[in-house]
Structure 1
Amino acid sequence: MNAASIKAIKVAASLSLTIVLALSFGWEKPYWGAIAVIVMATTESYSHALHKARQRVIGTASGVVLGFTLLALFGQQRELFLLSELVLGGLAAYMSARSRYAYVYKMSFIVAIIVALASGLSESLSFSLAVLRVQETLLGVVCYSLVFSLLWPELKDPKALPKQVIRTKQEGGLRAFKFVAVTLVSWSLWIYLPIPGGFMFPLIAATLGLSLIEFPYHYLNKILGLVYVWSAVVLSQYVFVLPLLDSVWQLGAFYFVNVFLVWHFFPKENQLPMRILGGQFLVLLTMNAQHLRPIFDINSSLQMLLFLSLILITVRFVVHLVETFMASDAELLHE
């Protein structure tokens, strides 16, 4: 058996085990643990994955505290909450280019926004949400570590840990500017257009925007195309396959097979976006099937796809404007 097949089996086993255990424990959002597995699985080595897992746990814990702080200070003042989001998100975007602990900054902000907005700016709902978020993340980390330690184990090599590339202050400033622009446009769309789903749209815009602003314009074009390819693959299974499954182990087998195929057929380094999008779209677009009482409503999945499309188009538009402006400014300096 080749290395690609072994890695695919271990990733698939980690993710399906996380979902099955979460449902067995009576937890309502197994996809958070599954996303933690996908993030770890897209790293270069087991040592790298454990390093990233530690940063994810630290970022999650600090994000929970930050989220409750935002709720306590600005839970009833939407304008001040937006201002705090711009400041904190801009800082996280800047530090994603300038700090060795870039992933901690990003996770702290993402979790804080989830804690605050997923509950509709309600402190009572946010506490249970925060506890569940920490539980799910830890479960994903434990399952991944356990499977990779027992199945074809790899030796941990401290020298294999990647070094965070520290970029220029200009790059950090550009990322911060892009994030602020994307957030302002997204909130404007949410306020002035009849977008359903409560705070879900600005929540996804903040979390996805922070992750995408570091990519160049031409790369975002490819991502937008991949979104619709994976959506068609996942939604067709959501409609025709998942409703036929009536037990937890069958659900686990469903995710095992799909994740195995993604990691098996796209193992190369330049195919990393295919693995990330394939894994995350599989989990997110079928999240309603992971409830204790599964829901098979295509409308919610299509709504999620609409949100992702609008946000990707917004990020693409902002990045294109910034890159065009920077290119024209550089030409003027050379003349």
Structure 2
Amino acid sequence: MILTEIGDEKMLSRAMKEAIKVSLAFTSAIVLAIFFGWDKPYWAAITVVTLASNESFSHSIKAAHNRILGTFVGASMAIGLVAFFAQDRFLFIGSFILLAGIFTAMSYDRKNGYFFRIAFIVCALISFMGSFDDAISVKIIFLRLQETILGVVVFSLVYQFLWPMNSEVEFYEQHKSTSKGLHDLVVELTECVSGKRAYTQETLADYQARLLAMSNNIKSHSLILDLPAAGSYQLSQQRKHWRKLTLASYEAIVKLQAWLDKAAPLVNNTSLPSDSEHQQGSTLLSELANEAVIIELNEQLIEISDTVSLIQEARRELHKSAGQLNHSFDAVEKIKVTSHWQHVIKQWNNPTPLSIRLKDSAIVMVSLMASFALWIYLPLPNGYMFPMLAAVLAINLVAMPKFIVNQALVGMCVSGTLVLLQYTFIMPALTEIWQLAAFYFINLLIIWRVCSTPELAVQKVIGANLLVVLTMSALYLTPSFDITASLNMFVQVFLALGVIRFFIAWCKEG
């Protein structure tokens, strides 16, 4: 029986339900891996965290497919590197850095970028953790595959049976939210043109931010229309119509962005008293002298408004039809789009210019060169750990804006300190498997609930990863509690992050 009745539905927010699901899957993956006698249970737990970080269950399943396939490819590359270049460290390092640059450039693909990223990460893990030995590397490959598949299976079962969220329902909700956002924005802009609302630099920035959020929302959830729609009968039957509505919404956003760009020079920044509606009117578009431009903007806004109204009408018509086959939808037929679905998807899949991708590849390669130099010429503890951490962090952080990298540094400091305190004072007292499970469940529940807002998404992933990475010795088949090893790991994470942050701050814009 599907567990949709657990707890009082009114008492649990969606964020809390999501936190409970990911905590249960995370803990179950660890417990099962220990039960099976596998050596690194935290790999299965990290798989759960990665899949749970996606926008919807459909996105997570796509990521799971890419993660398993990327594990195979990355393992094959690692075997090749170890087999051919293990005897010459500079040849190995050069080949590894070249692979890092190539896979960084390819990781910007919106649809399959995660495949390239995880392939390189697995290649790095197996190459270094295998101590450049073929037999050990093969053993680690099989263990990694087992842990990855376990994480995927546990995640899928928990998310299918505990408060399941149908991707079809989520797609409808997101599309409804976008169309409502477009309608509200058009109404506000119409009021600006008619003189009922002030149009200032602040409101302009707010409108542009809202349009950017809607554009990103459409790009993200459009993937659902290209994924298998098992269990989503209505969406699968109406896929062509929803694609048209998605294109129409995106074109409306593009037109509104162009409208705002054209109207931006007309904004009057004169500061006026707030107690006079008439004086505030001088900041409105309707009060400006350039009447020809105002008339043109008004006509464009009316056209966009008509399109948005048709989109809303078509959305309601499609939603009520219950997936009727060969049904004619008048509102959908009235909507005119100028772009083709495959062409737009191709643009969305590679939004980053080649020059920026090559520049980021160069940043990763230079960061790894510096990390290998530190590893070779400085007496760093933990052997292979430092260059491996640098490789994993570099390919993940280089695509992020600089302020996100700074936030990641702060998040690592706070999360790492809290985890190490618990590792020192609480975990040695946990002698039973259920106590260990409760420890991880409660910690991840708090992390996922506190960091449920979009702006804290990076902190959520960082906290969950550090939770298992810094306490990994407690998950061994023969547990050990050595604070020195965890502190060394923590210091090396910061050192690797510092090297990468230096080159990102030096070379990257934005």
Same fold (TM over 0.5): yes
1:1-335 mapped onto 2 (5 Å cutoff): 1-98=12-109, 100-157=111-168, 160=221, 161=223, 164-323=349-508
TM-score of the pair, normalised by structure 2:
0.62
Q: Report the secondary structure of 2:132's partner residue.
A: coil
d(CA) in 1 for partners of 2:142, 2:93 = 24
d(CA) in 2 for partners of 1:91, 1:191 = 24
Q: Which moved more, 1:140-149 or 1:247-256?
A: 247-256
What letter corresponds to residue 20 of structure 2 in structure 1?
A: I
d(CA) in 1 for partners of 2:451, 2:488 = 28
Identical residues among aligned pairs (%): 36
Deviations for 1:230-250, whole angstroms, at most 9, x for unmatched residues?
A: 011101110111111111121
Aligned residues: 325
Q: Report the secondary structure of 1:279's partner residue.
A: helix
d(CA) in 1 for partners of 2:411, 2:163 = 32
Deviations for 1:242-269, whole angstroms, at most 9, x for unmatched residues?
A: 1111111211111111111111122111
Equivalent pair of 1:98/1:169 in contact (CA under 8 Å): no
d(CA) in 2 for partners of 1:165, 1:229 = 35
d(CA) in 1 for partners of 2:58, 2:112 = 16
Q: CA deviation at 1:99?
A: 6.0
Deviations for 1:115-153, whole angstroms, at most 9, x for unmatched residues?
A: 111121111111111100000011001100000011011
Structure 2: any 5+ residue segments left out of the alignment?
1-11, 172-220, 225-347
d(CA) in 2 for partners of 1:271, 1:202 = 27
Change (3 A) 1:13 1:99: closer
d(CA) in 1 for partners of 2:498, 2:385 = 17
TM-score of the pair, normalised by structure 1:
0.94
Q: CA deviation at 1:164?
A: 4.3
Structure 1: any 5+ residue segments left out of the alignment?
328-335
Q: CA deviation at 1:273?
A: 1.4
Q: CA deviation at 1:15?
A: 0.3
Deviations for 1:6-53, whole angstroms, at most 9, x for unmatched residues?
A: 101100000000000000000010111111111111111111111111
Deviations for 1:265-293, whole angstroms, at most 9, x for unmatched residues?
A: 22111110121111011011111111011
Which protein shows a greater Rg?
2
What letter corresponds to residue 132 of structure 1 in structure 2?
A: L
Equivalent pair of 1:66/1:112 in contact (CA under 8 Å): yes
d(CA) in 2 for partners of 1:278, 1:97 = 24
Q: Report the secondary structure of 1:186's partner residue.
A: helix
